[in-house]
Structure 1
Amino acid sequence: MTTTRRRTKGAGGVFKDSKGTWHFRREVEPDPATGARRYIESTGKVKAEARARFEAKVAEYERTGLIRSSNSPFVRDYAERWMAEHRNHIKPNSWQSENGWMRTMCERIGGLRLDELKPEHILKLERFLGRTRARSTVRCHLSVLSAMLKDAEYEGLIESNPMRHLRLPRARRRPRPILGPDEPARLISSTGSYESGSNGGNSDTPEMRDMWNLMFTLAFATGMRPGERYGLMPFQLERRNGVPGIFVCQQVQRYAGGVDAVIPDWLDATHLYGDRWLTTPKSERGNRFVPVSEKLWNRLWGHVAMWGIGPRQLMFANAWGRPLTFNVEKVRWRKCLAAGGLPDVDMYSARHWTSTMIGESGAADDERMLIMGHADIETTAMYTHWRPEALARTMSRAIPDLDDVS
């Protein structure tokens, strides 16, 4: 009886066609974007040469996961694979935004092959996006596309990045209104007098009003980001060399998907409730020590004692002990602005107010950066709104009286 020996599954096939050309072929995993079957194949008139080409392609596939082809992949297919890999390198909220931007762009250019994508296609895309989006948003879209094309060039899928010599649109920065030097005190005092809502969600007890008073005081006194304040716990209240302050080392963030949100391995995040997660600050420089006054220090510890808050429990929470949210705080913020007869400024303006007051105090650039948690002075400068009075004081100190001729 003749025994037929079959090749091991996945080992591929070798044959010589009617024209005398040797073929080496092997099936690999289906295309993750389309589910289509994929093969690694090489040919040659000499068997040894065909085998060498085949083994080189297999080695490259095992090293990079890429299959070289005479046809460049479509932009939409490469973008889907690139975004899936990109997800492991950025925070969930950033990925959600960038993935949406990429999908929007692929609706316009996804049908092109990567090596067909030219600068003129990018310019048309920019004009299309600019019809309904701000320049800053268009810039964000194109920054993600540029990063993808840079990787495609590195992988050898395109000869050069078609965006290399294109200038991204400059964002127009609109001035952000902030409260005057003495106005935050009026907002904070209004926490005891703003009109309570008719439903339970906006009706606060005296204890809750005291909590909002402390929360708004903290916003102006420290410049902490909203999520950093929502994630504050007693263990972060420290004295360093006798100086009372807050060790900012975590924040509460909303991640789409809730408990099932995709969290990269490198990101330290703990699920709290619903779509709220306790995670690290916005950037590495976000880890910082912010000094506070003795009065505020004592108020914070008094709040901890009154509510019986443990070292690793949230200091600011709703009536059910769940994390505060931006929308919940915004309701109180606007009510306090109205009760205090103050201009309508957003909650982020508190952080801008703090940066402005620190700058006007004469603090050095590195001090301002450390307190605000910024990596560069350019970012801090965007948060600092110099008032004419402050500039006038600087000029009076710097410029002598030029009319004094005696």
Structure 2
Amino acid sequence: MAANARRTKGAGGAFKDKNGTWHFRREIDPDPATGKRRYIEATGKVKSEARARFDEKVSEYERTGMIRSTTSPYVRDYANRWMEDHRKDVKPNTWGNENSWMRAMCEHIGGIRLAALRADDIQRMIRGLQRGRSQSTINCYLSVLSAMLDDAEYEGLIDITPMRHVKRRKNRKRTRAVLSSDDPKRLLAAVYEYQSATDTVEERDMWRLMFELAFSTGMRPGERYALMPFQLERRHGVPGINVCQQIQRYTGGEQAVIPAWLTATHLYGCRWLTTPKSERGNRFIPISEDLWRRLWEHVACWGIGDRQLMFANAYGRPLMGETERKRWRRCLEAAGLPSVDVYSARHWLSTVIGESGASDDERMLIMGHADIETTARYTHWSPQALARTMSAVPDLGA
């Protein structure tokens, strides 16, 4: 090679230090744990020896994509970098929750070197988190930690994830209070009994429709808030609602970080119009002719455009969850009903259609669930329904 010839870009460099040792060095991708610059380097007393060692290291790196670091990062440093990378894979609210969980875990294990993290350290962390947190919440924390450590293992930063030796306790099922079959009618009647100082007849009609949709369709709150006239469809003569969007509150408002794969349009403040919770959330829910007629009467009364919100405040802005929850609680009190949350309406519908004899597929389609296990958690069989089922068993004592 000519004296003034230059090595090709990326091939690395070779030099001899003052002690006569040859060095071969090449810069590679930044350290996945810290983001710092990294090099593949080999040394030798003889140039050919150093070059052979260097070529061997380069070959291993190109084959596996990994190179061992001499020092392991702290868990908190790797967690910060991992969470930033993870941000593009999940919805903003999911990332916000998981980031707060990761910070809570790093208060216990953040000062440990990643490669030195053991199952015992995680168990001690769990005992610390149990003060004031439920088991289901801790299991959510551990799911995020497990995903991070799986990536650290894949990147070659640890030999094996310590989560494989951590036992997770089962969640304790919480008994949810659900209204009985006739209670929704009492709640809907109470909409007119409870009146705020500024209520109009049209506004009370709107809230009655909102609550009726919660029971009659099982739509999630965000799906009801996002309802627009174009979603009222007839399919093969059957009136129904095409559930294809929802309103979500994303932290950061207009400046919220929206992943490239998520379709979301900013509406107002922290409210965004986006896709349903999951792919199965896109569904068609049949409704009665009477409800269909009253929904269109509501559209005509308020002069709502095809792509405008059917349920909004006096300024045309999206309804807020706290506004609905406040009115819901006061209507329950007016009707003399037990205190249940708005989401219990979905449980009520799941129970009603389950007791009607609907198949598992039908129940999943209406509820927008991906598996029957989830739908089962929403179904609360009444003693009367179980008695009807058990009536098929003959009286063996007769």
Give me the TM-score of the superposition, normalised by structure 2.
Answer: 0.92
In structure 2, the residue matched to 1:292 is 287
Give the match's secondary structure for 1:164.
helix
Give the match's secondary structure for 2:165.
coil
Conserved 8 A contact 2:253-2:269: yes
Q: Does 1:52 align with 2:46?
A: no
Cα distance in structure 2, aligned partners of 1:53 and 1:230: 61
In structure 1, the residue matched to 2:38 is 39
Amino acid at match of 1:345: V
Instruction: Figure out how many residues of one structure are paired with residues of the other and give that number.
Output: 392
Report the CA distance between 1:29 and its aligned residue: 8.2
Conserved 8 A contact 1:229-1:251: yes
Give the match's secondary structure for 1:163.
helix
Cα distance in structure 2, aligned partners of 1:239 and 1:195: 35
The correspondence for 1:325, drawn from 316, 320, 327, is 320
Cα distance in structure 1, aligned partners of 2:204 and 2:195: 11
Cα distance in structure 2, aligned partners of 1:350 and 1:330: 12
In structure 2, the residue matched to 1:163 is 163
Using the aligned pairs only, state the percent identity.
65
In structure 1, the residue matched to 2:334 is 339
Cα distance in structure 1, aligned partners of 2:333 and 2:70: 66
Cα distance in structure 2, aligned partners of 1:390 and 1:251: 33
Conserved 8 A contact 1:237-1:245: yes
Cα distance in structure 1, aligned partners of 2:134 and 2:101: 13
In structure 2, the residue matched to 1:234 is 229
Unaligned runs of 5+ in 2: none
Give the match's secondary structure for 2:89.
coil
Conserved 8 A contact 2:68-2:156: no
Report the CA distance between 1:195 and its aligned residue: 3.9
Cα distance in structure 1, aligned partners of 2:316 and 2:67: 52
1:367-386 to structure 2, matched below 5 A, reads 367-386=362-381
Give the match's secondary structure for 1:374.
coil
The correspondence for 2:396, drawn from 393, 396, 402, is 402
Q: For the aligned residues, what is the CA RMSD?
A: 2.4
1:4-15 to structure 2, matched below 5 A, reads 13-15=13-15
In structure 1, the residue matched to 2:250 is 255
Conserved 8 A contact 1:195-1:335: no
Q: 1:54 to 1:72 in 2, by over 3 A?
A: same
In structure 1, the residue matched to 2:273 is 278
Q: Deviations over 1:97-116 (max 9, x none)?
A: 00110111111111111111
Report the CA distance between 1:191 and its aligned residue: 1.1
Report the CA distance between 1:154 and its aligned residue: 1.4
Conserved 8 A contact 1:246-1:289: yes
Conserved 8 A contact 1:178-1:353: yes
In structure 1, the residue matched to 2:185 is 185
In structure 2, the residue matched to 1:200 is none
Conserved 8 A contact 2:105-2:125: yes
Q: Does 1:138 align with 2:132?
A: no
Q: Deviations over 1:67-108 (max 9, x none)?
A: 641222221111111111111111110000001101111111
Report the CA distance between 1:12 and its aligned residue: 6.2
Give me the TM-score of the superposition, normalised by structure 1.
Answer: 0.90
Give the match's secondary structure for 2:241.
strand
Give the match's secondary structure for 2:164.
coil
Conserved 8 A contact 1:194-1:336: yes
Q: Deviations over 1:98-142 (max 9, x none)?
A: 011011111111111111111101111111111110111100001
Conserved 8 A contact 1:22-1:50: no
Report the CA distance between 1:166 and its aligned residue: 2.2
